[in-house]
């Protein structure tokens, strides 16, 4: 069997999109909402299976990865999140880059000689790597309008990945992948008025308008924390709102708390854009926390730990 296991956000979807555009392959797709990252445990690999894993933390999938390697599966693992100790195994082909200005789609683009680099740039914008994406766009001579279009598209795709469950999303990640696969270039989709770009644009703008009235839990020189109400729209904007706030105040860390239907908060954290480190260190101190240096989160933060989390965030960036 052949499996593609990928994060349901812009980076994960577009990483797979590039691989499939470069070499169309019939595979079993395994994905989920953005925070559903222990995806390798959803399959039962057999000897000879070929597995591609994209944009989910190796550390969070280590037991399932060991199981896959032990039964004789071949695993290609591409990611930029906290990896832990990467196994030294003949059947593991790991491409891990933890640089704060790198994302999985950019790694994939390098692996396939930048054949679909416009898509990788779109993913970088979606992952809030605006400076890196601008730099890559400038190398291709893109206009300011084209850059703004790719930035918007990446943001919309990323926005679609957030939610407590797939029912919160406008498109299931695998469905969105299939819709995007119809286009060799993001500009092909943007130029098609019937494409998913315009559906997501309308939905994104409507949800972000609601977020403008969010409750502020904490705001100081080093950090700002927002609380969103218990609603599907709020769960959808939790990540993209963090990105938006961080670009508005690049010297501050930001956290967005959202009720997650489990009696706890889903927390989305962004390190200051001027100091892109520490987000995963803060979040990893709490159960279900993880991510990377510039962007991280906690899937289920008990309500009673909210004050402790805010204190940890503020003290880290003092």
Task: For each of the domains in the chain, give its residue range(s) and CATH number, in order of start.
Answer: 2-201 (3.90.1640), 212-316 (3.10.310.30)
> Which 3-state string (H, E, C) describes the chain?
CEEEEECCCHHHHHHHHHHHHHCCCCCEEECCCCCCCCCHHHCCCCCCCEEEEECCCCHHHHHHHHHHHHCCCEEEEEECCCCCCCCCCCCEEEEECCCCCCCHHHHHHHHCCCCCHHHHHHHHHHCCCHHHHHHHHHHCCCCHHHHHHHHHHHHHHHHHCCCCCHHHCCCCHHHHHHHHCCCCCHHHHHCCCCCHHHHHHHHHHHHHHHHCCCEEEEECCCEEEEEECCCHHHHHHHHHHHHHHHHHCCCCEEEEEEECCCCEEEEEEECCCCCCCCHHHHHCCCCCEEECCCEEEEEEEEHHHHHHHHHHHHHHCC
pLDDT at 108 over 80: yes
Express as a percent the part of the chain with pLDDT over 90. Answer: 90
What mean pLDDT comes out for the span 140-163? 97
CB atoms under 10 Å from CB of 115, counted, come to 15
Cα torsion angle, 199, 249, 276, 286, sign:
negative
What mean pLDDT comes out for the span 265-273? 94
Average pLDDT, the chain: 95
Give the tokens for residue 255.
Answer: 């956290």
pLDDT tens readout for residues 2-21: 999 999 999 999 999 999 99
Please tell me the distance from the alpha carbon of residue 192 to that of residue 179, in angstroms, as a whole number.
Answer: 12
Pairing of the two strands 253-259 and 28-30: unpaired
Q: What is the pLDDT of residue 26?
A: 97
pLDDT tens readout for residues 86-106: 999 999 999 999 998 999 999
Biggest CA–CA distance in the chain, Å, is 54
pLDDT at 156 over 80: yes
**Which residues, 6 or more positions from 223, have their beta carbon under 8 angstroms from its beta carbon?**
252, 253, 254, 255, 310, 313, 314, 317
Q: What is the pLDDT of residue 261?
A: 75
Nearest to 158 by CA among 200, 190, 116: 200
pTM: 0.86
What mean pLDDT comes out for the span 295-308? 94
Q: What is the pLDDT of residue 239?
A: 82
What mean pLDDT comes out for the span 131-137? 98
Q: What is the pLDDT of residue 67?
A: 97
Q: What is the pLDDT of residue 31?
A: 98
The answer to whether 38 touches 62, Cβ cutoff 8 Å, is no
Q: What is the pLDDT of residue 163?
A: 86
What mean pLDDT comes out for the span 275-291? 95
What mean pLDDT comes out for the span 26-34? 96
What mean pLDDT comes out for the span 123-133? 96
Q: What is the pLDDT of residue 71?
A: 97
pLDDT tens readout for residues 192-212: 999 999 999 999 999 999 998
């Amino acid at each position: 069997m052949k499996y593609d296991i990928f994060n349901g956000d812009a980076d994960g979807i577009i990483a797979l999109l590039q691989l499939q555009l470069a070499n169309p392959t019939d595979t079993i797709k395994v994905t989920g909402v953005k925070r559903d990252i222990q995806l390798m445990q959803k399959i039962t690999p057999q000897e000879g299976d070929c597995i591609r894993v994209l944009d989910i933390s190796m550390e969070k999938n280590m037991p399932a990865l060991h199981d896959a390697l032990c039964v004789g599966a071949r695993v290609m693992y591409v990611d930029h999140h906290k990896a832990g100790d990467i196994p030294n195994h003949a059947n593991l082909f790991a491409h891990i880059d933890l640089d704060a200005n790198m994302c999985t789609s950019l790694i994939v683009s390098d692996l396939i000689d930048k054949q679909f680099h416009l898509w990788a740039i779109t993913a970088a914008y979606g992952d809030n790597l605006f400076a890196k994406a601008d730099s890559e766009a400038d190398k291709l001579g893109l206009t300011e309008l084209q850059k703004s279009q790719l930035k918007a598209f990446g943001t919309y795709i990323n926005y679609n990945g957030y939610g407590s469950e797939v029912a919160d999303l406008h498109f299931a990640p695998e469905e969105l992948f299939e819709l995007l696969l119809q286009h060799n270039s993001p500009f092909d989709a943007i130029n098609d008025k019937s494409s998913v770009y315009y559906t997501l644009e309308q939905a994104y703008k409507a949800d972000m308008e609601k977020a403008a009235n969010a409750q502020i839990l904490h705001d100081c020189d080093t950090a700002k924390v927002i609380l969103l109400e218990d609603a599907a729209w709020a769960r959808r904007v939790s990540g993209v709102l963090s990105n938006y706030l961080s670009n508005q105040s690049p010297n501050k860390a930001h956290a967005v708390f959202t009720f997650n239907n489990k009696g706890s908060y889903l927390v989305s954290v962004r390190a200051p854009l001027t100091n892109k480190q520490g987000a995963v260190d803060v979040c990893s101190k709490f159960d279900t926390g993880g991510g990377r240096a510039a962007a991280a989160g906690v899937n289920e933060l008990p309500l009673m730990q909210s004050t402790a989390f805010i204190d940890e965030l503020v003290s880290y960036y003092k």
